[in-house]
């Protein structure tokens, strides 16, 4: 196949994903059927749907994360180095009937535009939260497994390959939710086993309706000023 455009690449990717999901479903059904010869396919499908239905853990993510956010990000690049703080925004949306959430983060890093994406959810089969993060500044992905560590807190553990050294870096991240605020903290473990805080993001929920009303008010004010400058025409 001669693939020279994004449409072809997308088609190949979609085919691969559909094939993988279909194989997983069929393999699961076959493994169950090995011990359930003659089982009712409709009953099996009902059990599959029940096993994969969103639950209270998914509701926790939806309640505390979905929405529009302003963010203040503080980054500590090295032990003893001064911290840098930047402003950012984030949009968090539900996916696939509330099974997952998608985070779209927009800010800057070292004076350059910075965009990141994260997908998170709760895996009913493994009984654990799972997330993945990737961004515009690197080619790697950070994969985390999380547990609930409080009524409104999640602790994630994972690792990533340092782009400068190619060494694996262990991480611990904590999400803490309080009303219309959300704090993300990231810690890294050095080769000597010591842990240090490397990042903190403080999210504050935006009032989208209030922002839209303010934007409309500013627009109307600018229009009146223009009319006055043009002699009321």
Return the domain boundaries, the chain: 6-51, 56-211
- Yes or no: say if 173 and 156 are a contact pair by the CB < 8 Å rule: yes
Q: How far apart are alpha carbons 164 and 156 in whole angstroms?
A: 24
Q: Which are the contacts of 128, defined by CB distance < 8 A and separation ≥ 6?
A: 122, 145, 146, 147
* pLDDT for 24 beyond 60: no
Locus of tokens 């009319």: 227
Q: Given a cut of 50, is residue 138 above it in pLDDT?
A: yes
The confidence score (pLDDT) of residue 221 equals 74
Q: Is the pLDDT of residue 9 over 70?
A: no
**Interval 193-209 mean pLDDT:** 90
Residue 28 CB contacts under 8 Å (≥ 6 apart), including other chains: 48
Summarize pLDDT for 31-75 with one digit per residue, the tens.
554 555 567 888 999 999 999 999 999 999 999 999 999 999 999
Closest C-alpha among 187, 194, 190 to residue 157: 187
- Measuring CA to CA, how many Å separate 185 from each of 49, 108, 114, 154, 204? 35, 18, 18, 11, 15
pLDDT range class, residue 105, cuts 50, 70, 90 = very high
pLDDT tens per residue, range 171-182 = 999 999 998 999
Task: Note the CATH architecture for domain 56-211.
Answer: Beta Barrel (2.40)
- What pLDDT sits at residue 217? 72
- In tens, the pLDDT along 118-137 reads 999 999 999 999 999 999 99
Mode of pairing for the β-strands spanning 100-109 and 67-75: unpaired
pLDDT of residue 18: 33
Cα separation, 122 vs 225, in Å, equals 53
Structure tokens, 140? 């790697």
How far is the CA of 168 from the CAs of 35, 142, 171, 205, in angstroms? 42, 11, 10, 34
98-117 b/e (C-beta count within 10 Å ≥ 16 → b)? bbbbbbebebebeeeebebe
Question: Looking at residue 213, what is its pLDDT?
Answer: 67
What does the angle CA 7 – CA 12 – CA 16 come to, to the nearest 5 degrees? Answer: 145
């Amino acid at each position: 196949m001669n693939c020279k455009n994004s449409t072809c690449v997308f088609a190949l990717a979609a085919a691969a994903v559909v094939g993988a999901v279909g194989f997983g479903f069929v393999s699961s059904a076959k493994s169950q059927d090995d011990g359930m010869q003659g089982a009712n396919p409709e009953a099996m499908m009902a059990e599959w749907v029940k096993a994969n239905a969103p639950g209270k853990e998914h509701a926790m993510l939806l309640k505390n994360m979905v929405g529009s956010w302003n963010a203040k990000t503080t980054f500590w690049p090295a032990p003893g180095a001064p911290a840098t703080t930047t402003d950012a925004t984030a949009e968090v949306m539900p996916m696939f009937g509330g099974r997952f959430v998608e985070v779209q983060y927009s800010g800057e890093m070292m004076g350059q535009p910075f965009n990141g994406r994260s997908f998170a959810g709760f895996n009913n089969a493994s009984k654990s939260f799972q997330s993945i993060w990737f961004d515009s500044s690197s080619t790697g992905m950070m994969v985390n497994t999380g547990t609930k560590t409080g009524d409104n807190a999640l602790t994630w553990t994972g690792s990533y390959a340092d782009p400068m050294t190619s060494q694996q870096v262990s991480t611990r991240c904590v999400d803490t939710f309080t009303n219309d605020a959300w704090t993300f903290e990231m810690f890294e473990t050095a080769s000597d086993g010591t842990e240090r805080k490397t990042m903190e993001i403080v999210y504050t929920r935006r009032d989208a309706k209030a922002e839209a009303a303010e934007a409309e008010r500013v627009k109307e004010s600018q229009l009146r000023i223009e009319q006055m400058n043009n002699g009321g025409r």
